[in-house]
Amino acid sequence: MKVISNKLQAAQRRMLCSSSGGIETIRNQQSGEIRTQVKQVSKANFTIALDEIKNHIQDCDFIAVSSHKTGSFSDPWRRLLPFLDTSETAYLKAKNAAERFELLHFSVCPFKIQQGPNTNKLLAYPYNFLLFPRDELNIGMPSYSFSCQTSSLASMAREGFDFNICIYDGLSYLSRVQEASARYRIKNSIPCIRPARSSSSPSVADAIFMERIKSRVRNWRDGYKHSNKTSDDALVTSLRKLILGSEVYGSRPCLNIDVCNDHQVELVLVTLSLFSDDIVPLIIPDKGGGPKIVRIVLTNSEEDKNLLKSSLQNLEEEQSRQIRGFREVIDAMSTSHKPIVAYNCLSDFTFIHSKFLGPLPPSMSEFMCSLRLVFSSILDVNHLWREIGPLKKANNLSAAFAYLRRQFFVPLDVEIPHQVQGNVGSNHGHDVLRIANLFSKLVSILKIYPSTCQTVAGHHTTGIEDYANIFYPCCTSLQEPVDGDVGVGTDNVRKVSTENLVFLWGFRVGISAGVLKRQLQGSHDVLSGDFEVKLVDKTCAVLVFWDQGSAEALLTDMDTGAHGFGALLEMISNGLKAAGYEAYKRVLSSDIREAYLPDSFDKVLTEPLPHDFLTESGKDGPEIHWSNDSIELNDL
């Protein structure tokens, strides 16, 4: 990696990101107009946009995604904490957020990376889809309620998000699981064509039933044909149709025959096969799904018959499209098998799974298995930039952009060919462009490309598959700080088993971690050695011990009262309580919804231990990466 001077960078760099890591306007390749080119999609233009994006997905190398939600965590202690959370607890927190909040817009950007000897080219097609979980089919799905976080809504409002368009014209959707449940109910409103099946010799009752149907259909058909050939007035024609029981299906005459079960349907279909091909039988189901009516439609030609069948097929396809809604885009991404690029994948894909696939599994391993069945390759730019040493401390997209701009010469031409007219809500959807742009620079620096990309001959490359499906637990979001700088850190990261962690609560609210540590120092044998304290929220702290067994000894003595030290005894009498990491996992796995972590601890500790936790007892706890990077101002 060659670092060049700032002077040379200023003269030669052609980058998309501005000084804050944002998106500058881009010159349209066709009209030369300077404007951003994120296509906004709602119900009004969804059908056209769907066909367009499907073609772009098939032609692209990658698909970048980003989204805005009504919230990211329900309570402060449910934020993802890299110094505390394992991949399992990080997933449980993301699962809680995905089940409580909703997506209001989802951005998709199919893009190509074309490598050249002197420059790279990013060819992008960004779309921003407005979503709203509306029960358009009156089946109780997808949602009647969801939670909102005021800070998330306020942030979207500051960016000019139009909530009226979202609510009234946003795209609805059903997940794959919800669709399977809905189709049984929806299909009852659509007539279907079914060929007659061969059956055994009819009984006497069946023969009588078939003869009655045959006579009725012949009289109706002959009567309609006769009425077309005579000069009867309108009254006589109307009376004839009334006597024969004739109705109209669209513009075609039809006859309804009531049936009670599938056997009678088969008898009617066998009887109708004796007539000429100008009649088309349609089976109309009742609300329970069973057959209700066989509707016989009379066509006037083979062409008219094919037109009727085609219209029925189109009706069924339109009904299916209405059921899926925006999820058609997700399905197109899945069937393309193209790598999906995102930022903070754990958060984004728990939402994607919950809203568009089905209920989230209880564990991280089951979630990953389920997700791999739909998206075989997912790439997190947050993981990729950590391959560059100094960027390991970057905690947002702006920080990564700022560092790359200062340290690397990565020329990148960005082309967005499609035209955007009436770009309503143009302030939204740019995050997906930033992700695609940053990803293009990272793969160029790290020299990692899939086989589908055009690479420079003679350059050594690493397979991008080595970086796929790694969900790095991250608590950052796309709400960037203004300065876009890398967070201050000490690089003091140590691995520690979760068995060496103890949660404490019941101390004075508002106390700092430093003061709490000084109060605990020397109050117990294990608290006389080396340990660290961090606040999870203002009511709860976590202690980490570096000596194996210290945490267990403290928990045991506090539980049995064998602490033996006056200072700790006084704190316990004033309400100090403690719990291990397994209790923390139990809280995150439960349905308890308390605003403060100590209240959740108090509730979960009074409940019997679940069976799955009993079976895991005795196993070594997973490790976390304890870090002192974040500096508490109260401790300075």
* Antiparallel, parallel or unpaired: β 279-285 and 246-249: unpaired
* In a shared domain, residues 373 and 413: yes
300 with 360, same domain: the answer is no
The pair of structure tokens assigned to 258 is 């009531």
For 209-219, the pLDDT digits (tens) are: 888 888 888 88
Identify whether residues 296 and 331 lie together within a single domain. Answer: no
Helical (H) or strand (E) element with 496: strand 493-497
Q: What is the pLDDT of residue 107?
A: 94
For residue 321, tell me if it sits in a domain.
no
Give residue 240's pLDDT: 54
CATH of the domain at 616: 3.30.70
Q: Does residue 11 surpass a pLDDT of 60? A: no
Structure pTM? 0.77
Decide if 314 is inside a domain: no
User: Per-residue confidence at 270, pLDDT binned at 50, 70, 90?
Assistant: confident
Same domain membership, residue 514 and residue 561: yes
pLDDT in tens, 173-183: 888 888 877 77
Domain boundary among 261, 280, 309: 309
Residue 421's φ and ψ, nearest 5 degrees, are: -120, 140
- Please identify which residue in the block is written with the tokens 């500058």: 24
The CA-based dihedral angle spanning residues 368, 372, 378, 382, taken in that order and rounded to the nearest 10 degrees: 0
Instruction: State the DSSP string of 366-384.
Output: HHHHHHHTT-S-EEEHHHH
More confident residue, 467 or 462: 467
Q: What percent of the chain has pLDDT over 70?
A: 74
The answer to whether the beta carbons of residues 63 and 336 sit under 8 Å apart is: yes
With vertex at residue 177, the alpha carbon angle to CA 167 and CA 175, rounded to the nearest 5 degrees, is 25
* Distance separating alpha carbons of residues 229 and 235, to the nearest angstrom: 16
Work out how many domains the chain is built from and give that number: 3
DSSP class of 105: E
- The verdict on 157 and 12 lying in the same domain is yes
The three state secondary structure string of 507-532 is CCCCCCHHHHHHHHCCCCHHHHCCEE
Q: What is the mean pLDDT of residues 92-107?
A: 93
Whether residue 46 has pLDDT greater than 60: yes
Indicate the range of 424-428, 524-528, 591-595 predicted with least confidence.
424-428
Which range of residues forms the domain containing residue 247?
A: 189-309
Measure the CA–CA gap between 131 and 104, rounded to whole angstroms.
Answer: 5
Least reliable range by pLDDT among 309-323, 365-379, 426-440: 309-323
Quote the tokens at residue 445. 């620096």
Neighbours of 431 (CB within 10 A): 24
625, containing H or E segment: strand 623-627
Provide CB contacts within 8 A for 494, sequence distance 6+: 546, 625, 626, 627
Task: Say whether pLDDT at 418 is over 80.
Answer: no
Which is more confident, 66 or 28?
Answer: 66
Is 159 found in the same domain as 208? no
Q: How far apart are CA 359 and CA 366, in angstroms?
A: 12
Are β-strands 540-545 and 120-124 bridged in parallel, bridged antiparallel, or unpaired?
Answer: unpaired
pLDDT of 446 > 80? The answer is yes
We report the CATH number of the domain holding residue 409 as: 3.30.420.10
Distances (CA, A) of 446 to 216, 292, 368, 408, 440: 78, 65, 26, 12, 10
Is 11 a domain residue?
yes
Residue 420 token pair: 């955007």
DSSP structural state of residue 390: G
Tokens encoding 493 = 């990261």
pLDDT score, position 9: 37
Q: Mapping DSSP to helix (H, G, I), strand (E, B) and coil, where does residue 125 land? A: coil
pLDDT confidence tier of residue 54, bands split at 50, 70 and 90: very high
User: Which DSSP state fits 245?
Assistant: T
**pLDDT, greater one: 54 or 473:** 54
pLDDT digits (tens, 9 = 90+) for 497-509: 889 899 999 998 8
pLDDT digit string (tens) for 547-575? 888 899 899 888 877 655 667 888 888 88
- The pLDDT of residue 607 is 78
Please indicate, yes or no, whether residues 82 and 213 belong to a single structural domain of this protein: no
User: Please, which residues bridge with residue 279 across strands?
Assistant: 298
Q: Confirm whether 183 is domain-assigned.
A: no
Question: Are 100 and 151 in the same domain?
Answer: yes
What does the mean pLDDT of the chain come to?
77
The predicted model gives 446-469 an average pLDDT of 64
Return d(Cα 164, Cα 161) in angstroms, integer. Answer: 9
CA distance 222 to 225: 5
Distance separating alpha carbons of residues 371 and 357, to the nearest angstrom: 9
Q: How confident is the model at residue 374, as a pLDDT?
A: 94
Can you state the angle between helices 46-59 and 327-336, rounded to 10 degrees? 10
Write the CB contacts of 218 (distance below 8 Å, at least 6 apart in sequence). Answer: 275
Give the residue among 317, 321, 329 at the shortest CA–CA distance from 129: 329
pLDDT tops 60 at residue 63 = yes
Task: Report the alpha-carbon distance of residue 132 to residue 127 in Å, rounded.
Answer: 16
| pLDDT at residue 21, as a whole number | 38
DSSP label of 452: T
Same domain (yes/no): 505, 457: no
Whether residues 305 and 335 share a domain: the answer is no
End-to-end CA distance of the chain: 38
Q: Is the pLDDT of residue 517 over 60?
A: yes
Do residues 163 and 18 both lie within one domain?
Answer: yes
Last residue of one domain, picked from the residues 450, 467, 484: 467
In a domain, 319, yes or no: no
Higher-pLDDT residue of 252, 91: 91
Of residues 44, 23, 46, 27, the one with CA closest to residue 35: 27
Predicted confidence (pLDDT) per residue in 318-347, tens digit:
777 777 889 999 999 999 999 999 998 999
| Contact predicate 60/333, CB 8 Å | no
Distance (Å, whole) CA 270 – CA 326? 42
Strand-pairing partners, residue 541, are: 504, 535
> Read out DSSP for 591-620?
----SSHHHHHHHHTTSPPPHHHHHTTTSP
Taking alpha carbons only, the member of 538, 531, 541, 535 closest to residue 494 is: 531
For tokens 């409103």, what's the residue?
189
Does a structural domain hold residue 563? Answer: yes
340-372 per-position pLDDT tens digit: 999 989 999 999 999 999 999 999 999 999 999
Q: Quick one: what percent of the chain has pLDDT higher than 90?
A: 26
Instruction: Kindly state whether residue 523 falls inside one of the protein's structural domains.
Output: yes
Sign of torsion, CA 211 214 218 224?
positive
Report cis status (omega within 30 of 0) of the bond before 142: yes
Kindly state whether residue 320 falls inside one of the protein's structural domains: no
pLDDT digits (tens, 9 = 90+) for 274-316: 777 778 888 887 766 677 788 878 887 888 888 888 887 777 7
User: If we measure between CA atoms, which residue out of 342, 345, 337 comes closest to residue 368?
Assistant: 345
Q: Does residue 11 sit in the same domain as residue 120?
A: yes
d(CA 621, CA 549): 12
Out of 255, 280, 309, a domain closes at 309
Distance CA 171, CA 132 (A): 6
